[in-house]
Amino acid sequence: MFFIFSKILYFLLQPLNWVVGLMLFSLFTKNKKRKHRAIIASVTLALFFSNHLIFNQAAKLWELKTITAGEITEPYDVGILLGGYANNHIVPRHDRQNFSARANRFMNAYELYKSGKVKKLLLTGGTGELIGNSQSEAVTMREFLLRIGMPATDIIVEGKSRNTYENAVFTKQMLTQSFQTQPQCLLLTSALHMRRSAGCFKKEGVAFTPFSVDFLREDDQWNPQFFLIPDPCIIKYWESMLKEWVGWLAYRLKGYL
C-alpha cells in the first residue's frame, strides 16, 4: 500500500500538473475573478519552477556533499550503487544498454571501480514500476558490465527492491550472504537522494561511507539564460527535488530513517 501511495503522490507533486490544472480551471470557470487569479498563479508557478538560478540555490542547500575520490586512500570492499540510471524502455535494447538522464550515477561508480577505489559493485534496484513487468535494472546492468569485460566475481546483484527502503533491507541480506565478516562499503547514490538513502541504510545496520554522485547543482552563471530565461528542463529537476523532500518526510514518519 505504501508503494502504491508513493506513486500516486509523485504524480500529484509534479509542478507541471499544477500549472496545467490551473490553466484548465481558468478555461472552465465562469467566475472572472477566479479565472484571472488562476491564470496569474499558473504563469507565476511556470516561471518559478523553470528558473535555473532558483533551483540551483535549493539544490545547494539540499544535496549532500560527502568525501571525494581523492580522499579514498584504501579501497572499499564494496561500492553499493542504487538504481535510477538506466532506461529499460528505450528501443532497441537487445544489443545495447540504454541510460536515463541520471547516467552519471553509474559512470561515477564505474570510474571508482576502474580506478581501484572499490573492489566490487553491488547493484541494487528492481523495476520500481506500479504497473508492468519490465526486467530488473540491476540485472540488465550486470549483463552490460559482463559485456564490457567486468569479472562476474566483482558484481553482486540485488534485483528485487522497488524503493529506497527495500534497497537497504535487501542489500543488508546480500552483504550477509556474500561476506563472512562485515565489509567496508561505499554508498553511492545521487547527492539529491543521499540523505534518505543514508538514513535507510543506517537504520538497517549497514556500515558504510556515503559518496554522493550525480549532482544537479552547478556554479552560478550570471547570464540571462541562467537567471532570467525559463528552462523547461528545470521543471523536471524540481519534480525530483519535491519527490525527495516528501519522500524523506514520509520515510521519517514511517520509521524507515
Say if 146 falls within a structural domain: yes
Same domain, 6 and 98: no
Residue 229 pLDDT:
93
Same domain, 124 and 187: yes
Domain extent for 24: 2-63+228-254
Residue 146 pLDDT:
97
Same domain, 55 and 120: no
Per-residue b or e along 164-184, where b marks 16 or more CB atoms closer than 10 Å to that residue's CB: bbbbbbbbbebbeeeeeeebe
- For 113, the 3-state DSSP assignment is helix
Same domain, 19 and 37: yes
Same domain, 113 and 147: yes
Same domain, 232 and 204: no
Say if 220 falls within a structural domain: no
What CATH number has the domain bearing residue 156? 3.40.50.620
Say if 205 falls within a structural domain: yes
**In the 3-class helix/strand/coil scheme, how is 148-171 assigned residue by residue?**
CCCCHHHEEEECCCCCHHHHHHHH
Distance of alpha carbon 189 from the chain centroid:
7
**pLDDT of the chain, 257 residues: tens digit per residue:** 666 666 676 777 799 999 999 999 999 999 999 999 999 999 999 999 999 999 999 999 999 999 999 999 999 999 999 999 999 889 998 888 999 999 999 999 999 999 999 999 999 998 766 555 668 899 999 999 999 999 999 999 999 999 999 999 999 999 999 999 999 999 999 999 999 999 999 999 999 999 999 999 999 998 998 999 999 999 999 999 999 999 999 999 999 99
Q: What is the pTM of this model?
A: 0.90
Same domain, 190 and 105: yes
- Report the candidate in 232, 94, 82 with the shortest Cα–Cα distance to residue 163: 82
Residue 93 pLDDT:
86
Q: Let me know how many helices (H) and strands (E) the chain has, helices first.
A: 10, 5
- Residue position matching grid coordinates 552547478: 218
Helices 15-28 and 32-49, packing angle to 10 deg: 160
Same domain, 52 and 100: no
Same domain, 56 and 79: no
Domain count, the chain: 2
Amino acid in position 152: A
Say if 223 falls within a structural domain: no
Same domain, 46 and 133: no
Same domain, 85 and 188: yes
